[in-house]
Amino acid sequence: MTLLAVIGAGSMGAQIAQQAALHGIEVILQDQDQAQLRKARDSNEGHLARRVEKGKLSPEDMDAALGGVQVTTDLHEAVERADFVIEAVFEDIEVKRSIFKELDDVAPPGAVLASNSSTMGISKIADVTHRPDRCINMHFFYPVLVMDLVEIVRGPQTSDETVDRAMALASAMGRTPVLIHKEIDGFIVNRILHAATQEAYRLLDAGVASFEDIDIAVEKGLNWPLGPFRLGDFSGLDVTYNARLHMYRTTGDERYKPSPQLEAKVRAGKLGRKSGEGWYRY
């Protein structure tokens, strides 16, 4: 049976661990901050309790799933017996590299080391280890307890066996994996989302339609649950803006240049739901 260690108990790590435990996988969740571990447990309990209220989960299965996630602040304890490690700490390359170095020292030599990074190909991290062939990206989507997809991204040195093990783990967790053969900014989903969102901003900037009507068109005509402006408000307009700016600066490609109207929102502090106003008021 697989023993999974999840490193980092923030928005992603907490739910990755819980999703695995819901599917009977033994999990140890580690964070350097004890308060984050408590928050993770409380938040997962809230999510599962709502499923029980709706009759989608039995109280016994809820207890088993919550009890299936052990927690610790000790990295060694978390990984010393692990078959598989998923890292989900801050999106900071130096933090990730130092954790991978430590994981490589402590985890059993056969263990796979995966990163949930949204932007860093595993090759930027795996070279600190002696097992780049057993390192891989597993990109889950927020909220992991709801979103069914995992993008599995292999690096140039990732072995076929590691790919197979990552695909199998995602499936065992009740999630659908897709395999990306090359490291590429944005992987699949964010590239397509960004392309569509940029087009929505171009239509807005050209005065073709209002943002409300563009959202309605995309929601009703493409069956997206949220149009690009509503989705931007949900994710945070600063996040959308910074992602565009990063792509524009690194590629110099005009296609990625952030919209002046998006920039104006961010400068005015209208960041979406979290600030009470973005494209819409909350």
Which are the catalytic amino acids?
118, 139, 151, 190
Q: Is 17 in the site for ligand NAD (CB under 6 A)?
A: no
Per-residue mark of binding to ligand NAD, 70-109 (x: CB under 6 A): ------------------xxxx---x---x----------
Shorter beta-carbon distance to ligand NAD: residue 83 or 151: 151
The least distance separating ligand NAD from the CB of residue 223, rounded to whole angstroms, comes to 22
According to DSSP, the residues that pair with 85 across neighbouring strands are: 5, 113
Question: In the complex, what is the shortest distance from the CB of residue 256 to ligand NAD, in angstroms, rounded to a whole number?
Answer: 19
Compute CA distances 266 → 171, 229, 237, 243, whole Å. Answer: 39, 13, 6, 13
Quick note: the x/- pattern for ligand NAD over 40-69, rule CB under 6 A, is ------------------------------
x/- map, 24-43, ligand NAD, by CB under 6 A: -------xxx--x-------
Q: Do the bridges between strand 149-153 and strand 135-140 make them parallel or antiparallel, or are there none, so unpaired? A: antiparallel
Q: Is 9 in the site for ligand NAD (CB under 6 A)?
A: yes
Using CB under 6 A, which of 4, 5, 6, 7 touches ligand NAD? 7
Q: How far is the CB of 42 from ligand NAD (least distance, A)?
A: 13
Q: Which is nearer to ligand NAD, 11 or 123 (CB)?
A: 11
Q: Are 113 and 82 within 8 A, CB to CB?
A: no
Query: Cα angle at 27 between 24 and 29, to 5 degrees?
Result: 145
Residue number with CB closer to ligand NAD (90 or 282): 90
Minimum CB distance to ligand NAD, residue 14 (Å): 8
Q: How far is the C-alpha of 124 from the C-alpha of 101, rounded, in Å?
A: 13
Give the residue, chosen from 3, 5, 8, 229, that forms a contact with ligand NAD under the rule CB under 6 A.
8
Residue with the CB atom nearest ligand NAD in the bound state: 10
* 12 vs 22 by CB, closer to ligand NAD: 12
Instruction: Enter the tokens of residue 124.
Output: 């930027």
Determine which residue in the list 116, 137, 158, 198 makes contact with ligand NAD, applying CB under 6 A.
Answer: 116
Q: Which of 24, 142, 146, 261 binds ligand NAD (CB under 6 A)?
A: 142
- Contact call for residue 282 and ligand NAD (CB under 6 A): no
Q: Which residues bind ligand NAD (CB under 6 A)?
A: 7-13, 31-33, 36, 88-91, 95, 99, 116-118, 139-142
